[in-house]
Amino acid sequence: MGRLFIARHGETDYNLAQRWQGTSDIQLNDRGRAQATALAARIRVLGLEVAAVGSSTLSRAYETAQIVAMGLGLPTLTPDVRLRERSFGVFEGLTYTECEVRFPEVNARYQVDPTAQPDGAEGYDRVVARVREAVMEATRVKPHSLLIAHGGVMRALVSSVHKEQVVPRIWNCALYELVVTEETIVSATLVEGQASYG
């Protein structure tokens, strides 16, 4: 058995506006940077064994990883494109309310079934496959790493691990612990959620 941690990046202005980011490269805002600093502090307080910090190639995840790594005095890993957020197609750049108005049927379907992607979005199965591949490789190469990823890919991953179709929203800097065997990811447990960061 191996262990790995995965966390969502800190807040961006798109998060604040409840706007779909997807593959758009949106920067952290000041609150997001404070959340990343707080995440590092919580990892220290909890005594979690973290050996290095990696991230997706999108700047909001990469900057979160840099802040956390600096706070813990850890090295950073090369950013991994497989951890990038899922493309949300026609939803990208729109607020949740705008999606309800412009694409009511697609939006309603997606809310109950995340595999029912909007037009132009990356397929659910492909997202799960690439994120699982990144996690399995990180476990082999650098056990006990912390990977900074995105809400959409994390929900897909947790859903695939626990065979749950709808996973609750994953808040900024929420932290999960993954237990991994040589063959698969056997559990994904929430360690810290939004409430810890005020």
The catalytic site residues sit at 9, 85
Encode 183-193: b = buried (16+ Cβ within 10 Å), e = exposed: eebeebeeebb
**Burial class of 142 by CB neighbour count within 10 A (0 to 12, 13 to 18, 19+):** middle
Please check whether residue 144 is in contact with residue 50, taking contact to mean a CB–CB distance below 8 angstroms: yes
Structure tokens at 108: 């309603």
Rg of the chain, C-alpha, whole Å: 16
Residues 89, 157, 7, 138, CA torsion sign: negative
Ramachandran area for residue 155 (φ above 0: left; ψ -120 to 50: alpha; else beta) = alpha
CA distance 87 to 176: 22
